[in-house]
Amino acid sequence: MSSAAASSPATGGVGLRRALMRNRGALIAAAVLAILLFVVDWISAGPLTYFDVSFLSSGGATSALAAIGQTIVILSGGFDLSAGAVISLVNAVLASSMDPMAPGASIILWTAVGIGVGMAVGAFNGFFIAVLRMQPIVVTLSTMFILQGVTLLVMDKPGGFVSPDLGTFYLGDAIAGWLPMPLVVIGVVLLAWFWLKGTRFGTALYAVGSDPDSAASVGINVVLVRFAVYVIAGGCYGLAGVFISAQTGSGDPLVGNPLLLSMFAAVVVGGTRLGGGQGGPVGSVFGAYILMIVVNILLVLNVSAYYSTIAEGTILVLAALAGSISHASVLAVQLRAARARLAAWRAGILPSQLERVDRRLKIAEPAHAQRNPASPRPAFHLRNAETLRYALPAYVCLLLIVVVTQVWLGRAILNPGYWNSLLVLSSFLAVLALGQGTVILTGGLDLSVPWTIGISGIILAGMVNGSDAALVYALPVVLVMACAIGFANGFGIVYLGISPIVMTLATNGILQGCALLYSQGTPAGFSSPMLRWVMTAKLAGLLTPIVLLMVVFVVAAVLLLGRTPFGRRVYGIGNGLRAARLSGIGVERTLILVYMLSAVCAAVVGVMLTGFSGQASLGMGDDYLLPSIAVVVVGGALITGGRGHYLGMLGGVLLLTALQMLLAGTTLPYATRAILYGLVVLGAVMALRERRLQ
């Protein structure tokens, strides 16, 4: 920015172009928002008045403020899942501590309280992430559970009181008839951000996000920057919590939780790259408003209820596509590459068209044949030190949990029923962990898991309808459908260049719509006797058949990731996309296969859940999204890809399931359970700390 201002008139054009390029994401998001506003204006009955704009501005403000915080975290290379829970907590704290009898409320005081609560949570996150060097996704996921518990302790049901003074201030007009207050609040936060960005700290933040090692070696205090980032972001969520309190005038302990996923969508639509170093909060603000204005468009177009999630998903993909239109976009690159391949094929110079001669270097013998018997293979624990270091903690904690269960509830270690239940209940997440885990190994994320599970179960139950014979064709149909879903995800990500989070989030919405349309709101049919037998019968009174199948599955999964070319390609891509491509890995094909694997795993879980429950229901996959990510990370995988072992993930699955079984056996209140759950997860991954930066 400053370079553009300082440049001489002769180079002004270049400077301007550079400034435009640097802010392309935000500019395109702004353009998309403008187009959408125009569309709303055009298709609705009356013209857009100041009143409409004022409503819109307050409607999107909470998301926008929270998205600013999330963007700053993402710019630093982090990830914050606790954002929605902070908003709920601030809302609950304000609503339960304001006195309805008091004549007026101090706006400054209560705003400070809200921001302060947010910053305190941010400091908690920051301590574990920056000082103890733990993975942001696990820390903030644990924080999310802990906060949900704390919020319920503060306020166990909707109610409370937020002074109308807050509402009058935050929702009023800054300049009557011209400028609504919410826009001013967002503007002030953005100005503060611009100031911050210009300081040394701002530069350090981008540097840490781009490459922490280089940042550290040029003398940036990486720990301090990271810590500060979470505190600042916490402040933003806190302000968002204050805003929603002002807007609703009361408290609801669940109000912020559903904002989380759309917040990520807002950040990505706004042009910020997940993984850090590129983008900025301005775009995220536009992103948040784009997502909000979709509500109005659906209303004006009178999109039927069942189609609304499909429409939203489509709009999300289109917005993301619009944001990536440029010469350098993935789509353009892919098209150019295809053209080049076509030209090469015409000219007959494609590698496959050339004469095949073995041009490999003649290295005498494979290395292992020459091993000197005097230096034996290193011991198992040395060869697999890296894997063990990351996979073992989950198993150690599992052992602890089982012992605690035995002491507290009795009837665990020597009770075969306990182990059988543990394995049966783990089987769902164990299957999901392979799919989600493989996606995470490549550095992606699959958010379409919930409704892939849902639609698979619903279609299977509808086709099977209690007949074992029908299972023979229903199962393949469902699996083929899952392949198609995974292919669509992979295609969008690889060839259209849409970020995995946005693409799979959109797919999830579209699948939800399809499931509703297919079932007309009431899923028909039920599981066949055989499927139910597999999931619920007890062989010899002890062992459920699915446990035996799980053993086979685990062996197959370990072999798939550890002993096949596919597995090696997955790790290769996760460790470095460019390096993988240059070493001749078919990155596109592998990635599409990875997303297909994930969708198939989700479909299998849908089938298993249908057998387990006896029927399929809408929303039956909803509770499996965050756990599927959590187990992968608790099992030692790196969320940015490239590191992790399936056995570690399996350990994560068993640990979390055993923990839930322990908590379910107690009569502790739900809030306490949520807090304990969060603390144990946090404790379990303490051992997974990153090594100190050199």
| Of residues 331-370, those binding other proteins (CB under 8 A) | none
Taking the complex as a whole, the smallest distance from the CB of residue 255 to other proteins amounts, in Å, to 5
Interacting span for other proteins (CB under 8 A) from 50-58, 265-273, 564-572, 645-653? 50-58
* Binding piece for other proteins, criterion CB under 8 A, among 275-283, 487-495, 511-519, 549-557: 511-519
* 664 near other proteins, judged by CB under 8 A: yes
- The residues facing 180 across adjacent strands are 173
Site string for other proteins, 371-400 (x = CB under 8 A): ------------------------------
Residue 254 in contact with other proteins, rule: CB under 8 A: yes
Q: Does 614 bind other proteins (CB under 8 A)?
A: yes
Residue 223 CA to residue 227 CA, distance in Å, equals: 6
Of 55-63, 109-117, 494-502, 678-686, the segment contacting other proteins by CB under 8 A is 55-63
Counting contacts by CB under 8 A, is residue 59 touching other proteins?
yes
Nearest-angstrom CA–CA distance, 361 and 481: 44
Token duo for residue 418: 């306990």
Q: Which two tokens stand for residue 387?
A: 């894997």
Cα distance between residue 390 and residue 392, in whole Å: 6
Smallest separation, CB 587 to other proteins (Å): 35
Q: Which of 25, 69, 241, 454 binds other proteins (CB under 8 A)?
A: 454
Kindly state the smallest distance separating residue 247's Cβ from other proteins, in Å. Answer: 6
Q: How far apart are CA 254 and CA 58, in angstroms?
A: 20
Site for other proteins in 25-44 (CB under 8 A): 44
Residue span binding other proteins (CB under 8 A) among the ranges 124-132, 248-256, 483-491, 626-634: 248-256
Q: Can you tell me which of 405, 427, 456, 499 binds other proteins, judged by CB under 8 A?
A: 405
Q: Does 516 bind other proteins (CB under 8 A)?
A: yes
Q: By CB under 8 A, which span of 21-29, 57-65, 177-185, 562-570 interacts with other proteins?
A: 57-65
Out of 78, 283, 523, 574, the only residue in the binding site for other proteins (CB under 8 A) is 523
Q: Rule CB under 8 A: is residue 531 a binding residue for other proteins?
A: no
Q: Using CA atoms of 177, 244, 512, 287 in order, give the dihedral in degrees to the nearest 10.
A: 50
Chain position carrying tokens 């989380």: 260
Report in angstroms how near the CB of residue 588 gets to other proteins at its nearest: 33
CB contact set of 13 (below 8 Å; sequence gap of 6+): none
User: What is the gyration radius of the CA atoms in the chain, in angstroms?
Assistant: 27
Nearer to other proteins, 576 or 665 (CB): 665
Cα 102 from Cα 119, distance rounded (Å): 27
> Per CB under 8 A, which region of 52-60, 436-444, 486-494, 648-656 contacts other proteins?
52-60
Candidates 105-113, 224-232, 377-385, 515-523 — which segment interacts with other proteins by CB under 8 A? 515-523
CA 66, CA 121: separation in Å to the nearest integer?
14
d(CA 285, CA 72): 12
Tell which residue, 320, 130, 151, has the closest CA to residue 237: 151
Q: Give the Cα separation of 279 and 285 in Å (integer).
A: 12
State how far the Cα of 300 lies from the Cα of 41, in Å rounded to an integer. 10
Q: Which of 20, 31, 305, 555 binds other proteins (CB under 8 A)?
A: 305
Distance of CA 564 to the CA centre of its chain: 28
Per rule CB under 8 A, is residue 203 in the interface with other proteins?
A: no
Least separation, in Å, of the C-beta of 157 and other proteins? 4
Q: Can you tell me which of 41, 52, 165, 588 binds other proteins, judged by CB under 8 A?
A: 52
Q: Is 285 a binder of other proteins (CB under 8 A)? A: no
Does residue 76 bind other proteins (CB under 8 A)? Answer: no
Distances (CA, A) of 580 to 335, 339, 570, 590: 21, 22, 9, 11
With CB under 8 A as the contact rule, which of the stretches 433-441, 570-578, 592-600, 666-674 interacts with other proteins? 666-674
**Does residue 8 touch other proteins according to CB under 8 A?**
no
Give me the residues paired with residue 543 across strands.
539
Give dist(CA 157, CA 505) in Å, integer: 30
494 contributes a contact to other proteins by CB under 8 A? no
Window 133-172: residues binding other proteins (CB under 8 A)? 151-152, 156-160, 167, 171
Q: Which stretch binds other proteins (CB under 8 A): 300-308, 354-362, 589-597, 626-634?
A: 300-308
Q: CB 217 → other proteins: shortest distance, Å?
A: 44
Residues in 92-111 at the binding interface with other proteins, rule: CB under 8 A: none
Q: Which of 609, 625, 647, 650 binds other proteins (CB under 8 A)?
A: 609
Q: Is 421 in the site for other proteins (CB under 8 A)?
A: yes
299 binds other proteins (CB under 8 A): yes
Which residue among 187, 198, 258, 476 contacts other proteins (CB under 8 A)? 258
Q: Does residue 653 contact residue 631 with C-beta atoms inside 8 Å?
A: yes
Rounded least distance, CB 674 to other proteins, Å = 8
- For position 55 contacting other proteins by CB under 8 A, the verdict is yes
Q: What is the helix (H) or strand (E) element at residue 179, kind and residue range?
A: strand 179-180
Please report how close the Cβ of residue 449 comes to other proteins at its closest, in angstroms: 14
Residue of 207, 259, 320, 505 interacting with other proteins (CB under 8 A): 259
Encoded one letter per residue, x for contact with other proteins by CB under 8 A and - for no contact, window 617-646 reads xxxx-xx-----------------------
DSSP-derived secondary structure for 262-312: HHHHHHHHTTPPTTSSS--HHHHHHHHHHHHHHHHHHHHHT--HHHHHHHH
Q: Spell out the SS3 assignment of 108-166.
A: HHHHHHHHHHHHHHHHHHHHHHHHCCCCHHHHHHHHHHHHHHHHHHHCCCCECCCCHHH
Structure-token pair, residue 249:
């005038």
CB atoms within 10 A of CB 342: 11
- Is residue 626 within 8 A of residue 387, CB to CB? The reply is no
Taking the alpha carbons of 266, 268, 274, 277 in that order, is the dihedral positive or negative? negative
CA–CA dist 193, 191 (Å, integer) = 5
**Best CA proximity match to 87, nearest among 201, 258, 232:** 258
576 contributes a contact to other proteins by CB under 8 A? no
Taking the least distance from each CB to other proteins, the nearer of 225 and 288 is: 288
Residues 461-490 contacting other proteins, CB under 8 A: 465-466
Q: Shortest gap between Cβ of 55 and other proteins (angstroms)? A: 5
